[in-house]
Structure 1
């Protein structure tokens, strides 16, 4: 008597002594998933920018109060596989924005660069700006580029506008994302505290700016 073995999920079909019809075919299923190379995004120190204690007496009553720049290293590693990828920045405290506050940092900033610093007692604490700097691969210097949504790429000075703006980097003269296996750089943050007259200085005020960095493949 003939034995037929099916390879579908390891099920064996066996014609035995019972009076049944033997199967003359079996289905072979081949499965698997092709996944893109996984890139790992990280910031030294967990991406925390700490301004420490700020005495309330040092704040100007009727003007915005810019703080010194702070930085944190940024790195993206895709193993040994060159990839084209970019970053989007999403403000998680957008409801706390103070209109016009980044004017205290000088020219070149718009409301798209304004990230909120949270609220205390219903009063808005301030804002901060983000800049990408010192972008490199292991062998070359990179230059920031950006686009809005799915629009065309254009040169950037590194000032980071919020999503839907997306940031990447070029390695040559062509304004298009470079295919690279890893990236290092610096995220520079400059915070601005609101006018003292608009804050509740009778209590501690915690700077609570939060933004998500989203890595996407291009």
Structure 2
């Protein structure tokens, strides 16, 4: 009993030494903007890319095998001029055998080996936005706090970066407000090295990703 009483007195002394102005509460603020802006993206062929059957003898043994480049048409239609950016979410997250935000997985074979990867790129030179004469691409790796200098070089769609378009060359102000946009996307696909795959049965490529419009 005596030890317990001593400990209690010591603790009480520490509490009395705390500053009188110490706060015992903290505020939480929940912010956001509900906007009337609305954009609808759509892909040609309903977003389906089919490579058909690929013979295992056509795969490289120790290095990845590049499949023919495919193209997809994209349109984004908004109910008015809207500042937005694009990013993509991998629905097969964890199945890419290359660790990069621009590569998306093709799923797993029957032995849980990673089948391969694909990437998707925009070319501003093949992009039309409203009545803009020339379109320039820009991207942000900081969630829109800072933007890369706008130019006409192709840009890969990232899972963690924002990709947008502007009508001003060299701008770092981010995307312009756009109502109607159309573009041709380039899809590049690489199958994992043959030695890394279980080829005892058919391997079904199962890539899936969601392209998202992010309002700014």
Structures share fold, TM-score greater than 0.5: yes
Instruction: Tell whether 2:35 aligns with 1:42.
Output: no
- C-alpha displacement of 1:159: 3.1
| Secondary structure, counterpart of 1:51 in structure 2 | coil
- State how far apart, in whole Å, the 1-side matches of 2:163 and 2:204 are: 29
> Which shows bigger deviation, 133-142 or 86-95?
133-142
Contact 1:91 1:162 in 2 (8 A): no
| Secondary structure, counterpart of 1:75 in structure 2 | strand
Q: What do you get for the CA RMSD once the two structures are aligned?
A: 1.7
TM-score by length of 1: 0.74
- C-alpha displacement of 1:35: 4.5
| Secondary structure, counterpart of 1:45 in structure 2 | helix
- C-alpha displacement of 1:210: 1.2
> Which shows bigger deviation, 152-161 or 139-148?
152-161
| Secondary structure, counterpart of 1:197 in structure 2 | helix
- C-alpha displacement of 1:99: 2.8
Structure 1 alignment gaps of length 5 or more:
1-33, 101-110
| Secondary structure, counterpart of 1:187 in structure 2 | strand
Match of 1:27 in 2: none
Match of 1:93 in 2: 92
Alignment of 1:99-110 (within 5 A): 99=98
Alignment of 1:135-154 (within 5 A): 135-140=127-132, 141-148=134-141, 149-154=143-148
Count of residue pairs brought into register by the alignment = 174
CA radius of gyration, larger in: 1
Match of 1:202 in 2: 200
| Secondary structure, counterpart of 1:46 in structure 2 | helix
Structure 2 alignment gaps of length 5 or more:
1-33
TM-score by length of 2: 0.75
| Secondary structure, counterpart of 2:94 in structure 1 | helix
- State how far apart, in whole Å, the 1-side matches of 2:155 and 2:130 are: 23
Q: Does the C-alpha gap of structure 1 residues 112 and 187 become closer, same or farther in structure 2, counting only changes over 3 Å?
A: same
Contact 2:105 2:116 in 1 (8 A): yes
Match of 2:118 in 1: 128
Instruction: Tell whether 2:171 aligns with 1:172.
Output: no
Deviations 1:63-96 (A, max 9, x none): 11011110110001113x2111111111122211
| Secondary structure, counterpart of 1:82 in structure 2 | strand
